[in-house]
Amino acid sequence: MLRTSEYSSVPMIQHCKALLIIGGIVFLCCLLGILTRPLSFLAFFWPANAALLAIFLRYPKLNNLGGWMGAFSAFIAADLLTGNYVELTFFLTLANCITVFTSLFFIQYFNINYRNYNKGFTFLHLFAIFAFAGCLAGAAFAVFTIPHVPNTFMSADRLWVDFGMWWTGDLLNSILVIPLILSMPTWDKLKYAITDRRHKQYPISHIYPLIAIFLCVLMTYFLSGPGALLYPLAALIWAALTYSLFSVALINFAVLLATYHSLNQFYLAESSNAYLSTAISVRIGLCMLSLAPLILCIISQNRQALYKQVLYLANHDSLTRAMTRRYFFQQSELLLQHAKQQPFSIIMLDIDHFKKLNDQYGHYAGDLVLQHFARTVQHNLRNQDLFARIGGEEFVIFLKDVIPEEAFNIAERIRKITEHSPVSIYSKEPLNITVSIGITHHNMTEQNTTLQNLINFADFALYKAKEQGRNQVASYN
């Protein structure tokens, strides 16, 4: 949340932009809430407060004076355009703004890193602050002011009921809307995901959780009642272990709204008193229902990410990000087993005069050279090629499904690019490096030749290149 001095330093164009964006979004959210009132002034779904907080968190540049003016104006305009009274509208807007302002204040006060909403307990901290600070502050302001405003719909005689309805309403909206906005992919990521998955095939079992969720939601309409809260729980947990956080937040949003609607219809069909007497417990129950899959999904994805990171570090050299010797042999053997009729080439590479370079410039310079060289090689290989560091300045490449001429051209291209790509060491003159390369080719018609023997053959070719003057490519005959 920006301080007063920071608000004044924001350019006017940024204020105007925030006013238009925030104003438009909040106005639409308010209209949606107003149109879903099952009883007079009791909104079935009021996303405006939660959406405003989530947008300010995700896009902090919009959290300026213009943004707040846009939100305040949108609250006022939506209520007045739908026939509400001016004085009542003003106090309702103040209560809504207090909810968001208080939440932002405590998020900043407790130093919550809301950008890491999907790490550890950050999401729970965000939800707790909104539930037990922002929502409570807004509800308290509302019940102590709005009952005394002309044309009010609140009564001082039912203070606790109105307080509970306001608080739990904001509580439910926050658990529905905030995770959805915070986890929403950026436009660039969305385009990449669509492009990347066009050719990716999922097993039919991937949609089973969605089918289970759909059936459970249908049950809430046909077999409605208090127990309907638990119908989707198992299916939501299944989805949390299957899909991404944004997908789970989206599923959560749809399932909880549908369940909430079916329960509201059930109690409203009985009487208004039945609806009012159960609404608070239903909303709290829905909040508890939605927390389980969200937290489980975050834990599951963090665990998967950690596992992938540990696995990657175990199988790749920490300095160059090339494969380790063990992992290279493992993957090469797998390729050989699944492509028995495809030719392949083994390429050995050794940076020339590397020991002399280390002695002259130091080991840090040597590390920079290794990293630079590894990047150069990786940028000139195909996705299916294997590249590993097997010790010191020595590297090896496995080229699958190539003829000898293609392998030689790839090796020669790497040699030329390495020669003409100097490495910057400190602030000194760029350092020119060269590489000697040895190649052996296998047609798969030869039998009883092991991978280690082929690497030895490529190593012989490498020594041949060094004996002939270095900075060249030699083939094993």
Active-site positions read 393
Which tokens is 128 given?
A: 């707790």
Burial group, residue 416, by CB count within 10 angstroms (0-12, 13-18, 19+): middle
Identify the DSSP state of 156. G
Question: Measuring CA to CA, which residue among 93, 97, 16, 1 is closest to residue 56?
Answer: 1
Where b means 16+ CB within 10 Å and e means fewer, 12-29 reads eeebebbbebbbebbbeb
C-alpha 357/C-alpha 342 separation (Å) is 40
Q: Which residues contact 182 (CB under 8 A, 6 or more apart)?
A: 54, 57, 58, 114, 117
Q: Which residues contact 27 (CB under 8 A, 6 or more apart)?
A: 74, 77, 78
In degrees to the nearest 10, what's the CA dihedral of 108, 112, 118, 120?
-170
As separate numbers, helices (DSSP H) first and strands (DSSP E) second, the chain gives: 18, 5
State whether the Cα torsion 170-176-179-180 is positive or negative.
negative
C-alpha 467/C-alpha 291 separation (Å) is 67
Where b means 16+ CB within 10 Å and e means fewer, 318-335 reads eebebbbbebbbeebeeb
C-alpha 131/C-alpha 29 separation (Å) is 20
Question: Measuring CA to CA, which residue among 78, 57, 80 is closest to residue 67?
Answer: 57
Distances (CA, A) of 140 to 8, 54, 382: 31, 22, 63
C-alpha 255/C-alpha 213 separation (Å) is 8
Question: Measuring CA to CA, which residue among 183, 170, 169 is closest to residue 251?
Answer: 183
Identify the DSSP state of 228. G
Question: Measuring CA to CA, which residue among 129, 97, 100 is closest to residue 113?
Answer: 129
Q: Give the type of residue at 207.
A: I
C-alpha 365/C-alpha 111 separation (Å) is 40
**Residues facing residue 316 across a β-bridge:** 323
